[in-house]
Every structure is written in structure tokens, then in C-alpha cells.
Structure 1
Amino acid sequence: MNFTGKTAVVTGAGRGLGFIYAQELAKLGANVVISDVGSDNLGAGTDASIAMDAARTLQSKGFSVVGHHGDLSTEQGCQQLVETAIKAFGQLDILIHNAGWVGYQSIEDADATFIGRAVDINIYTPVWLCKHAWKHLKKSAAARVVLTSSDRAMYQQYAQPGLTAYAAGKMAQLGIMNALSMEGAEAGILVNAVSPVAKTRMWGVKGEPENLKPEWVAPGVIFLASQQCQDTGYILRASNGQFTATRFAENPGVDYPVDLARISAASAEQVAQQWDHIKEC
């Protein structure tokens, strides 16, 4: 794949998965803006050196990279990031929103500050970024947006106690993906999501993991960001060098919303009687 002449913005790119994405794009010729607020594992604090050191590391290898440090929980911060890309490289073709935060809090202990942090990075940030990137993406011949979800949110069997805020945010990004995949269709802006599993500092991993390496997720994300990807509205599950794509798709024969082409029931009792069949549909 060749990304020469393309400009990519990658959030949360100072470390972990985001850095790997940025590095691979740069290796393939892209201009890359590495954005990272430099927060700790709990999503608190800031450290400008995280983004700048990551950028310098790639610059030392001869890659076209700039660093950005800013608060992406605000519209102004997101606008500034987009403007950084335009000022540095004159265009924007690829937006990868990788920045995230994993925090545990039981539902009985839920508070607005904790929930707000998840809402900020998972809802406000991708919306504000896309709002200000959109006019530039519309000018690109191969505009790509990659959001980030999680199997912990999508699949009940992988959910964990205390991840209500996290799961809500990651599912919200799928709603954003679906809406923007339709809104961007006419302009050729393709919007997909990745659901990655990798051992990074978010897992408390130090050093090189033996499996679930971030490098093994990157090929899927690079594909979604590439011109070779011609699909939109897909979720790419990526784990341990394996990939599977899924999407929310309607059942055959449905005439939405008047006919779900499935089991009819006129009372709660009828729903109860047919519940086993309803679950199978």
C-alpha cells in the first residue's frame, strides 16, 4: 500500500496502538499528525512530551510527522488539531480516532465526572473532529475515517462489571459511524470502526507482550485507512493477528418500520409465549 501524498491524523498516538498506527502510515509514505494529551492510565493529567517525543522518534527515521498536544474533549481543541494538520500539510485525508480511556466504576458509585470523561472522548471528540475535518475530507479523493469500538461493549459475554461508562461510549461510536457513513457517502467519505484487542499500558502491560501485540492489530486499521478499502459502515474486529468484519444488517424481507417480517404478537402474554422463537429471529 502507498499513502504518499496523504495526510492522516491519529489521536491517542503517543503510545500503544495509536503510535503503531501512526508509524505504519508514516512508513507507507503518509504525512502524519500524532495527537496525544499525555494522560495517565486513568485518563487524568496531561503531558505534552508524550506526543512530541513520539513525533521526534518517527522524525528521526525520516518520516513526515508532526506532534500535537491538546484537549480533545472540547470543540476548540478538536478544531485546533484539524488546523494543525492543514497548516503542516495543506490537506486531510485520513482521521483515525484511537484515543480512549478504560475506567471501572460500579453503577451504584456512578458519578457525573466519571461518566462525563467517557462521554467526552467517545462522543464529543469524534463528533467535533469530524465536524471540523469534514470540509477537508470532502476534498480528498480517498477520505477515510476510522473510529474505535470494543467487544466489551458489543458482546454481552465479554462485558465486565464496572464498564458501564466505557461500554456506552464505545457503542456510541458505532452510532456515529453508521450516521456518518451515510452522510459521507455522496462525497466518498468512508467511515468504519475497529474493535481492537491488544496488550498495552491500558492493560497494565510493561515491556513486550508475548501475544495480543499492538502490531498485530495495525494491518486491519491501515487497510481501513487505505484507498483499497471500498466499504463503509463496518466494524473490523482485530485480535492476535486475526480479523473479522461485522456490521448491523437488517433481516431479509423487512419493510422497515411497518413490517419486521418476523413474529407477530398482540399482548405481553403472546410475547412471553413466543419468546424462545423471538430470540432466535
Structure 2
Amino acid sequence: MGEIRFGGRVAIVTGAGTGLGRSHALGLAERGAKVVVNDLGVSRDGSGASSEAAEAVVDEIRAMGGTAMAHGTDVSDEAGVKDMVAQAMDAWGRIDIVVNNAGILRDKTFAKMEMADFRKVVDVHLIGSANVAHACWPIMREQKYGRIVLTSSASGLYGNFGQSNYGAAKAAMMGLMNVLHLEGARDNIRVNTLAPTAATRMTEDLLPAEAQALLAPETITPGLLYLVSEDGPSRVILGAGAGSFSQTQVYESTGITLMDEDNTPEAVAAQFDQITDPAGHVEMTDAFSQTRKYALNAAKARGLKLEW
């Protein structure tokens, strides 16, 4: 594979004033992309606002000879997102890459969490990602090219104590990716999910100093740059951290089929080990893959021939 470049491409990177977003924006610009540096400039919990961080990254990009603009909208504000996209189109006439990275934390155990804090975290991570992707979607469809990355987390994929709001929002990225991958395929829109572990202000209280030194955001950005490249994949959850990269996949076990009077909760309990046996598990490519599997299993158990 040749060198990955982004000459002539326009990218929007949200939450790009610090940490991972900053690293992604600099990486794209270094390889030729024009970059919209989006950052509201809030604190870790989403309070306050300042344009300084975004403007500082724009200055860094321009100092290296690149092209960039800053935009300070809250990604959960649909009108603000539309304004950001309009400004990018007015300036550069296209949008090729969207990196949804903006996020906040409001950690607390579920029992103690206010629902307003649950809702705000979901609004920023999930609704914010959907807002930006939705505003860019018709542009990408018309130009028959688009690369979108959603940012998940091990907290969403595997769980983390005290992060029910963040974990729920981050798990939702997989569902959004799966559908956008299917809907975008005919227009050459590829959609992936990055699940990073990095030393940023979001994790500074959670990681020992030795780990923070290894988990620099710059160790993750190469994976992001591949995901948004012209020959990048689609529908991949890429785990990344400290230069390590891996794929997270969801599989379904072979399972069992219970018929008629044998289909009881007691039978499910008695055969639960077989239901959960990972041997022969397969990846489902869409929702109807599972529907088809179950219908064919039931037909086979009854000696019926089902064409599907």
C-alpha cells in the first residue's frame, strides 16, 4: 500500500482542541487535508466555553503550512452543526471526512446520577455524532464519497463502574455505525468506529503516570487515519491504544432450537450451556441475518424446506 494522503480532502474533527481530537486534526492536516477544528472549549464535564483551544490548533496547522478553520459549536446543537457544515462548504466546497470525537464526562454511580447528567452525556456523544453525520450525509451522497468515524470506548463495549451514561452513549456508536454502513455503501460512504484508550484530560485521574506516558493520543491517530483513508474499511470497530490495534467483533453462538411443547423456560435453563457455547459462532452482517438463521433453524427442525 502506498503512502496515505488526504490532498484535496476536507475533514471535520469534533472535540479537536485537545487530546485525541487535536492529534487527529494535526495528523489529517499534516497529510494534506483541510480541517475544520471544532471545539466548544468546555471543561471535562461540559461546562464553560472558550474558542482558545480550537484557535490554537488552527494556528498549529497553519504554522505547518496547512489549511484550517475553527468552529466552536456544541455538537448537540443541531443548528450550530449546520452552520459549521455550511461554513466548510462555503470555504472549500466539499466535506469528505467526519471524525466524531467530541465528548464529556459526568461520572457517578447509577443510583446517585441525576437524569439530567445522563441525558447530557448521551446528547453530546450520541446525538452530537448523529447531528454532524446527518448534516454531512447529503453532501457525501452527492459527491459519492464519504468517510465517517464514530468514537466509542471500552466503557461502552465492555462496561466501566460509574459510567452508565457514558457507557450507554458509547455502546450506541456500534448500532449507529452498523446502520450507516449499510445505508452508505451504495454511495461510497464508509463508516467505522474507533475505540481508543488514551491519556487525555478525560482519563487523567484514572491512569497511573507510567501508563499515561505510553498511552499518548499520537499513538492512536495512525489507526484513525487509516479508517478515513480512501482505501479504508467499513463497519470496523478498531480498538487502539499505546500503538496497539485490534478489532472488536460481535458474534452469535450456534445455539439451539426448541419446538412446540418443548419450548419452555425450563428447557432454556437446562440447555443454557449449549446456547452459550462459542463453538461455531458466526458474525451477523445485518439484523435479517439473525432472522434468517432462526427461521431456517426452525424449518430444519420441522423437516421443512425453506428457501431464503
| TM-score w.r.t. length of structure 1 | 0.90
Aligned to 1:263: 256
Structure 1 residue 106, shift from structure 2 partner: 1.2
1:121-171: CA deviations, max 9, x gaps?
Answer: 12211222122101111234541000011112112xxx2221100000001
Which amino acid in structure 2 is aligned with residue 248 of structure 1? V
How high is the TM-score relative to the length of structure 2?
0.82
Separation in structure 1 between the aligned mates of residue 177 and residue 252 of structure 2, nearest angstrom: 17
Residue 223 of structure 1, CA deviation? 0.2
CA contact (8 A) 2:35 2:69 kept: yes
CA contact (8 A) 1:142 1:226 kept: no
Describe the superposition over 1:214-250 as per-residue Cα deviations: whole angstroms up to 9, x where unpaired. Answer: 1110000000010121x21110001110111233355
The farther-off stretch of 71-80 and 207-216 is 207-216
Of 217, 220, 223, 2:223 maps to 220
Please give the alpha-carbon distance, in whole angstroms, between the structure 2 residues aligned to 1:98 and 1:140. Answer: 24
Aligned to 2:303: none
3-state DSSP of counterpart to 1:167? helix
Q: Pick the aligned partner of 1:236 from 235, 238, 242.
A: 238
Q: Take 2:271 and 2:113, find their aligned partners in 1: how far apart are those partners? A: 36
Q: Could you tell me which residue of structure 2 aligns to residue 110 of structure 1? A: 113
One-letter amino acid of the structure 2 residue matched with residue 107 of structure 1: F
Paired residue for 1:56, among 59, 74, 86?
A: 59
Deviations 1:45-68, CA, capped at 9 Å, x for gaps? 111111112211221221111111
Aligned equivalent of 2:188 = 188
Quick one: distance in 2 between partners of 1:62 and 1:246?
37
CA-CA distance at 1:110 after TM superposition = 2.4
Question: Residue type matched to 2:164 in 1?
Answer: T
Name the count of aligned residue pairs: 268
Runs of 4+ in 1 over 6 A off after TM superposition: 205-208
State the alpha-carbon separation in 2 of the partners of residues 210 and 143 from structure 1: 34
Instruction: Name 2:22's counterpart in structure 1.
Output: 19
SS at 1:84 equivalent: helix
Indicate how the Cα distance of structure 1 residues 81 and 198 shifts in structure 2: closer, same or farther if over 3 A, else same. same
5+ residue gaps, structure 2: 279-308
Identity of aligned residues (%): 34
1:38 equivalent in alignment to 2:41: yes
Residue 191 of structure 1 aligns to a residue in which SS? strand
Question: Rg bigger for which structure?
Answer: 2
Partners of 2:277 and 2:46 lie apart in 1 by: 40
The answer (yes or no) to whether the contact 1:3–1:226 under 8 Å persists in 2 is yes
Q: What stretches of structure 1 of length at least 5 have no aligned partner? A: 252-260
Q: Please tell me the root mean square deviation across aligned C-alpha atoms, in Å.
A: 1.9
